[in-house]
Structure 1
Amino acid sequence: MSPCYNCNQCPYVHRGKDFIHPERRYVAHLRGFYTCVSKYVVYVLICPCGLIYIGETTKMIKSRISQHRSAINLGNMSQPVSKHFLEKGHSADQLRFM
């Protein structure tokens, strides 16, 4: 994935064409070219403690990531990603995505 270089989510992009699962060591290769403005994507959120969250969205990925980060910043305990980040003491600025 590549940043679009035109949005607030660009600094949080994990750049590259491959993702290696932290536990299973499975390598997933990205097909195509994706940026923060891509729609209809499967995405990976990478936690600083090594856990991952796999999600999908029909929206631009930058919008979905913004929602995740906002939920963390607002202390929303009803969503799994924000709940994990809050319980572990992580900040929204530590969230990375691909």
Structure 2
Amino acid sequence: MDAHSTAVAIADMQLDWKWNVDEPRDECDGSEAGGWGEDLRAKMRRLQDDHVWIRQQMTHLQRRLVTRQLERQRRLYEAREHLQQLLRALQVKYGRNWGL
């Protein structure tokens, strides 16, 4: 996942806040005029920030997972090479051919 693309997408995203956000809702008595628009903007910003943070964490965890898998694979290859060397040494020592 690319956290940079998410951050760029958020920076490029211009929400149209003109659609009745700055006006009181029908069910409001008018005393909260403009207040819920600010609350909505704050909630939207928190959601966007949380989204970016989650994407960054996912990227970090995926990198750690891939690194661990590659380390495990490297250890397995090294162990296989070590066992093959032991088998070759035993073949030479006992004059046999057990095949690799």
**TM-score band w.r.t. shorter chain:** under 0.3
Query: For the pair shown, which has the larger CA radius of gyration, 1 or 2?
Result: 2
Structure with more of its chain in strand, by fraction = 1
TM-score, structure 2 normalization: 0.24
